[in-house]
Amino acid sequence: MRLLSTALCTTVAVALLAGCSGLSQSTPSTGAGSVQTQSRLTHDGKFIPHWSFPASVVPESLRGAIFRSPFQPLHQKKKHAGGSNLYVTEFEGSDAYCYAPNNWKTNGAATGSTGPVSYVNGQAVDGKGNFIDPDGGTRTVIIFSSPCGSELGSFSDTYGQPSDASSADAATGTIAVGNIFDNSGEPGSISVCTLSGGCTANLTNSNMYEVAGVAMDNNGNCWASATNSAGTATLTYFAGCTGSGEAATGYENSYYGGLDIDKNGNLVSISAFNSELYVYSGCNPACTVVGGPFALYDEAVFGHLDRQSMSFSAGDFALGQVDTYSYSPSALTFLGSFNNGLTSSYIVEGASYNPRSAQ
């Protein structure tokens, strides 16, 4: 993925100049279990994930206004078509695209899109088929109906920059929103929110410094995949998505990454920068490895399962494509990739099925 450079600061114009002026490159620790993939950026002494760089440094006063043209109102509904059930987003793209679920076979064109979206890292489909956009550019969470449908509503993430989200019913129920970092560069968290009431609680834990993925099961428990302040990958469990959380034991990921839950209730966890996937049971807080580590085709931070938990797709940011696998708790087999309509330089990152895993 691209680092924030002087050239890029110029490209994104005045909105980012204040943030860019305070940025310098830094290389994190290379110790075992630490995030050591690329140089990353620091701002006021804080690491900024290279998969979220621009939205992390947008001045607070300009968020929510700079990510649309003067001719396009924020969240304007775009033309779309039904019949698709694999959503794909690019970090620097403005659309969430809809593809056929087996598009790896044909590399077919997207059948529709919805948006606009901005600086999306992780994204998800809820148990009702609604699409959840943790919109990093606007610091909002936007809920779209499906397939590839219109906006149902949105709310501000008042605690930080959203990086991922999970919910059984985003329209009427609780939504767990993972924040990369909280406001003013504070460590990341899980915001507990509803579409009608916004975010009313913020879950933090000393194991959580940078937060990547979040998962909520159908019983309302939630997990955060993160790194601690030393750069070590961690998993934190919040029973009922409340309280101070507990550090999961038996967690073997080398790096943080996206989370999902398969139809058997296993936690599916991407170890992003060594391209592996683990399957765990429990993690409440004791984890038992059920499967893996399975090798991914290439680098991905986020991915999701289909309803039957038989297919898994991930946004391959290194190659600018979506990689699809045959999944079971004991095996992961690469099937193929597609990139039709995607732009590698926009950083292909999010992929989620509708309907999602039955859990």
Residues 90 and 218 in one domain: yes
Task: Among 62, 77, 98, give the residue marking a domain's end.
Answer: 62
**Is 68 within a domain?**
no
Mean pLDDT of successive 10-residue stretches along the chain, which has 359 residues: 26 21 28 33 36 40 34 40 76 96 96 95 96 97 90 97 97 98 97 98 98 97 97 98 98 98 98 97 98 97 97 97 98 98 97 95
Taking CA atoms, 315 is separated from 36, 106, 122, 299, in Å, by: 20, 17, 9, 8
Residues 248 and 301 in one domain: yes
Residue 65: burial class (beta carbons within 10 Å; 0-12, 13-18, 19+): exposed
Residues 224 and 153 in one domain: yes
Residues 214 and 336 in one domain: yes
Distance of CA 349 to the CA centre of its chain: 8
Q: What is the pLDDT of residues 213-248, one digit of tens each?
A: 999 999 999 999 999 999 999 999 999 999 999 999
State residue 147's pLDDT score.
Answer: 75
Distance spanning both ends of the chain, measured CA to CA: 32
The Cα 234–Cα 228 span in angstroms is: 7
Residues 138 and 255 in one domain: yes
State residue 11's pLDDT score.
Answer: 25
Residues 146 and 283 in one domain: yes
**Is 71 within a domain?**
no
State residue 84's pLDDT score.
Answer: 52
State residue 146's pLDDT score.
Answer: 76
**Is 283 within a domain?**
yes
Q: Which domain holds residue 259?
A: 86-353
The Cα 288–Cα 274 span in angstroms is: 21
Residues 127 and 272 in one domain: yes
**Is 80 within a domain?**
no
**Is 56 within a domain?**
yes
- The whole-model pTM stands at 0.82
**Is 358 within a domain?**
no
What's 334's domain CATH number? 2.130.10.10
Residues 173 and 266 in one domain: yes
Residues 39 and 126 in one domain: no
- Collect all residues with Cβ–Cβ distance below 8 Å to 137 and sequence separation of at least 6: 54, 55, 58, 63, 66, 67, 117, 118, 119
**Is 256 within a domain?**
yes
**Is 77 within a domain?**
no
Q: How many domains does the chain have?
A: 2
Residues 279 and 333 in one domain: yes
Residue 46: burial class (beta carbons within 10 Å; 0-12, 13-18, 19+): middle
State residue 322's pLDDT score.
Answer: 98
Residues 344 and 246 in one domain: yes
Residues 18 and 102 in one domain: no
State residue 48's pLDDT score.
Answer: 38
